[in-house]
Amino acid sequence: QLLLQESGPGLVKPSETLSLTCTVSDDSITNSSFYWGWIRQPPGKGLEWIGNIYHSGSTYYNPSLKSRVIVSVDTARNQFSLRLRSVTAADTAIYYCVRRVSWAAAGTLFDFWGQGTLVTVSS
Amino acid sequence: DIQMTQSPSSVSASVGDRVTITCRASQDISSWLAWYQHQPGKAPKLLIYSASTLQSGVPSRFSGRGSGTDFTLTISSLQPEDFATYYCQQTKSFPYTFGQGTKLEIK
């Protein structure tokens, strides 16, 4: 069974960069069928898709965050990472790493999720 | 962006009850809709895609219906493990957007 595990600091200061890593187990990140990505959920709010990456390094991001986000991949370690710069309190959220699939009759959805990690932006 | 609106935001029910959750899209998304279940402390789980197709391993008491802008998720006979938060997601177009969630609580 595929396992996704987020890791990284739980506290980030305002204006600094949030950095998280997702380790993929029981599947290869180079599997050609999948993209990998990040979704977040601020306290008391809904889910927000952040961005996705393919093992080749091809990325696409939510336009609302695009200017501040970088998602990267490390195929040797079977990991992918999120960097969100210039954070504010509004970036406080649970961050989930996900596997993205696109099926012909189903569109683009997220079939496996990590348990999520809370990142708080505070001085 | 396509806006997704769920109702109600929370609902209380008892084991054995039938519950229906609604999701509305701000524009026609045909059947490009998925539902997820999120139990506290666990990873969210894909339940349904293409509005009505159960993901492998999902119990048959879950069902999805709808097309266009209006969709429903129904649990026919609630089990203790079904008390969770449910989210819809439009799978049609970038950027992918979710409803705000419906929390299903034990009465």
Q: Tens digit of pLDDT per residue, chain A (123 long)?
A: 899 999 999 999 999 999 999 999 988 898 888 999 999 999 989 999 999 999 999 999 999 999 999 999 999 999 999 999 999 999 999 999 999 998 888 889 999 999 999 999 999
- With CA atoms as reference, the chain A residue closest to B33 would be A106
Sheet containing strand A79-84, strands side by side: A3-7, A18-25, A79-84, A69-74
Residue from A47, A59, A112 to probe the interface with B (highest B Cβ count within 10 Å): A47
In B, residues 45-74, which contact A (CB 8 Å cutoff)?
45-46, 49-50, 53, 55
**Chain A nearest C-alpha distance from B16 (Å):** 28
Cβ atoms of residues B66 and B33 within 8 Å: yes
- Confidence label for B29 from pLDDT (cuts 50, 70 and 90): very high
> Do the chains contact at B32 and A96, CB–CB below 8 Å?
no
Strand A59-61 and strand A117-121: the pairing is: unpaired
The confidence score (pLDDT) of residue A67 equals 96
> Do the chains contact at A107 and B91, CB–CB below 8 Å?
yes
Nearest to A5, CA basis, from B23, B28, B88, B43: B43
Q: How far is Cα B11 from Cα B105, in angstroms, rounded to an integer?
A: 6
Predicted confidence (pLDDT) at residue B82 exceeds the cutoff of 90? yes
Predicted confidence (pLDDT) at residue B62 exceeds the cutoff of 90? yes
Cβ atoms of residues A77 and A64 within 8 Å: no
- With CA atoms as reference, the chain B residue closest to A4 would be B43
Count of positions (residues) in chain A: 123
Q: How far is Cα A56 from Cα A59, in angstroms, rounded to an integer?
A: 9
The confidence score (pLDDT) of residue A112 equals 95
Q: Mean pLDDT, to the nearest integer, of B33-42?
A: 94
> Do the chains contact at B44 and A96, CB–CB below 8 Å?
yes
Which residues make beta-bridge pairs with B6?
Answer: B23
